Structure 1
Amino acid sequence: MEHPRRHTIAMGLVTALVGFTSSFAVVLAGLRGVGATPEQAASGLAILCITQALGMLWLTWRYRAPLTLAWSTPGAALLASQGAVAGGWPAAVGAFLVVGVLIVATGLVRPLGRLIGMIPPTIAQAMLAGILFPLCLAPFASLADQPWLVGALILVWILMQRLAARWATPVTFGVALVIMIAATARSGGAALTAPALALTAPALTWAGVLGIAVPLYVVTMASQNVPGVAVLKAAGYETPWKETMLVTGAGTLASAGFGGHAINLAAITAALPASPESHPEPQRRWVATATAGWAYLGIAVVAATLTALVDAAPAGLLESVAGLALLGTFATSASGAMTEARDRVPAAITLLLAASGVAIVGIGSAFWALLVGLAVRRILQPRAAAVPAPAERG
């Protein structure tokens, strides 16, 4: 029996809805964390929707495969945990440009991609877990000030984890959205805000490049692009690596001035349009990803309104939604960091240093966590005993 096309289109809409609602709060928290005003954060959210949508539409048209893109959620979490750097928002925008250049270079220069692959997974996962740790604490820290509101969000999230885990964060966001609308109505604020893009002149600083750009590039590659390739391969698709890196790198470069931090291959949501539930025939599943692209273009229109609602929300609500959205990722990365017994000490140091938020010479903790973790691993790693082969003895 012919598979109804509307089912494939519906899967694309679900992909966009889950992808956006499950992490847009993290993006806003990240952009605000590095100094963006509400208008600049709304611009960043909108331009990310636009560039990833255009990237998906191009890649699906060219390859007829469900090559789903997303913004870098771990990268946004990094921004939220690192905070503002010397030079403020313009320095952050300059760092976003550097990330775009590095992603393009990854597509053009193969050794750069191999260099990222040489970072031990335990250290990469530990750095990510450390970045996420302060954000995942936020819902529980906010209980002191907003016990009923935040407590309700946590309860809804836990219940949805039991009933339909995929929808836990979107449903929790829906509850938070009702609270935001009520708060906006009570304060007399306007619920509808016209979309606008705010251009910022970038500034290149060492603190921005080392404290934001380098760790943002590493977590985007290690936590999004590499798993994204694995998800597609498991579904039977080969990723056109060079062109995907060029498209996402160019998209990051184009969006940086408007506040977009990074776009990349989707990891978790990539499995939705690539699955048999999207369409029984693999060569027709690209329609779902194309539909998600068109949906993101529509979502970009309401980015400013959502940002205005978040701005009027009770203190701690946005951080709580973001923290709950990242709990699963934190659990996975923390567990992955400790899988190798010989790497547990350097991984623990990496995690704790990344979570500390300490800045040395103006450079954030994620960079130092990666550097120190690799150095400690090198020091503690036992050298292989030089035992000659049997034929060489005597």
Structure 2
Amino acid sequence: MSDVTAAKGGGFSLQAVGTGVLVAFIGFSSSFAVVLQGLAGIGATQAEAASGLMVLSVVMGLSGIWLSLRTRMPVSVAWSTPGAALLATTGVVEGGFAGAVGAFLICGVLIVVAGLWKPLGRWVSAIPVSLANAMLAGVLLTFCLAPVKALAEGPALTLPVIIAWALAWRFKRLYAIPVALLVAVVAIALTTDMPAVTPDALLPQPLFITPVFSVGALVGVALPLFIVTMASQNIPGIAVLHANGYRPQPGPLFATTGVFSLLSAPFGGHAVNLAAITAALCAGEDAHPDPGRRYWAAVIAGIGYVVLGLLAGAITAFVAAIPAYLFLTVAGLALLAAFGSALTDAMARVEDRLPAVITFVGTASGLSFFGIGSAFWGLLGGLAMMALLRWRA
């Protein structure tokens, strides 16, 4: 707990409501395309991807509400966007999407253990930052190339989206992806027959997927997903809260997001975690001048995520009807900033640069061996090179 905690309680405010609604819209619209692409990339059908998107949005909303009300701090929870990008580059694993669900369950268990058992949390923190960021950059590269490729495939639809994104980024970065998404929707409405949305599509349709467990999915999906989620989401999420004066105990927060990840996994959800960017909105002065009342922004954002999640079927049906390259363009633009940040941090230390390059290239290659994806092999190669260089030194 910190000097800023609202242990004595804080009142509800319209300012916090406005911030919470904005956070829910931005958090959902800026990365749902990445989540759908990740689930489809690892073998989910349209119905399974819709179920995964729905349950992820609902559980991240519920967990954010629970943690914020329990701690009286603005604890914002999000789905693992880098984790979804990892899934898209991993490809179908042994057992198909059911095998991926088994990996999601194992990842959730690891997150819970990392929160409850301090040695595991320390081991994750001990992974060199340069290599963790290099792995993340390698995962994101394929997505970030999508807007460039889309220009060749459909310039008439792609170029307005990219221009709108660039202009919005210039004046208000936070709105860049929602603006790009809005322009994409308008472009589709003007040039494509909009899909008919049946009443059934508006109803939540969670699908239970019986998990299949395999060594390949454990090593190639569960472990990289766990590392990416912890290193690029949970740890930065705690840092954002600290930067705004809040001092929660990290372990219980990690464990809670792990439990909610476990609840979402059988229905196709890969992982939820502490948010970073949207957390800064909820924890900052825009939510309320009084730090003790800002937690209401995270509560309202959680409610917004639950509502948006219940509409996942209609959203997925719409996405399935639009040109794939336009869908990938929005997803790629959403990840450009994260890619730049990860690559910069990966190459920051001169002595770690070669191992980081090996990790980046190995991960970006997309190759798999023995059913294990490239993210694991890239990280393993970087660690081996780093150990060799330090041994020689």
TM-score bucket (shorter structure): over 0.9
* 2:244 pairs with 1:232: no
TM-score by length of 2: 0.94
CA distance in 1, matches of 2:69, 2:188: 38
CA distance in 2, matches of 1:48, 1:343: 36
In structure 2, which of residues 362, 369, 384 is the aligned counterpart of residue 375 of structure 1?
Answer: 384
Displacement of 1:190 after TM fit? 3.0
Per-residue CA deviation, residues 115-144 of structure 1 (Å, 9 max, x unaligned), is 001111000000000000011001111211
Partner of 1:350: 359
Per-residue CA deviation, residues 130-166 of structure 1 (Å, 9 max, x unaligned), is 0000110011112111111111111111111111111
**Greater radius of gyration (CA):** 1
Displacement of 1:4 after TM fit? 8.9
* 2:69 pairs with 1:67: no
Displacement of 1:315 after TM fit? 2.6
Per-residue CA deviation, residues 17-67 of structure 1 (Å, 9 max, x unaligned), is 111111110000000000111111111111011111111111111111001
Contact 2:195–2:317 (8 Å) recurs in 1: no
Contact 1:183–1:313 (8 Å) recurs in 2: no
Partner of 1:94: 102
Partner of 2:317: 308
Partner amino acid, structure 2, of 1:274: A
Contact 2:60–2:302 (8 Å) recurs in 1: yes
For structure 1, the residue ranges without an aligned partner over 5 or more in a row are: 385-394
Displacement of 1:180 after TM fit? 4.3
Secondary structure at the counterpart of residue 202 of structure 1? coil
Displacement of 1:183 after TM fit? 6.2
CA distance in 2, matches of 1:369, 1:379: 15
Per-residue CA deviation, residues 68-99 of structure 1 (Å, 9 max, x unaligned), is 10000000010111111121100000000000
Q: For the aligned residues, what is the CA RMSD?
A: 1.6
Secondary structure at the counterpart of residue 373 of structure 1? helix
* 2:209 pairs with 1:200: yes
Count of residues in correspondence between the two structures: 382
Contact 1:179–1:313 (8 Å) recurs in 2: no
In structure 2, which of residues 115, 120, 134 is the aligned counterpart of residue 107 of structure 1?
Answer: 115
Secondary structure at the counterpart of residue 289 of structure 2? coil
Partner amino acid, structure 1, of 2:282: P
CA distance in 1, matches of 2:182, 2:97: 30
Displacement of 1:182 after TM fit? 5.1
Displacement of 1:242 after TM fit? 2.3
Contact 2:12–2:293 (8 Å) recurs in 1: no
Partner of 1:249: 258
Secondary structure at the counterpart of residue 282 of structure 2? coil
CA distance in 2, matches of 1:83, 1:4: 45
Partner amino acid, structure 1, of 2:376: F
Partner amino acid, structure 2, of 1:359: S
CA distance in 1, matches of 2:195, 2:257: 40
* 2:355 pairs with 1:363: no
Partner of 1:223: 232
Secondary structure at the counterpart of residue 272 of structure 1? helix
* 2:13 pairs with 1:5: yes
Contact 2:130–2:348 (8 Å) recurs in 1: yes
Per-residue CA deviation, residues 353-377 of structure 1 (Å, 9 max, x unaligned), is 1000000111100011111111111
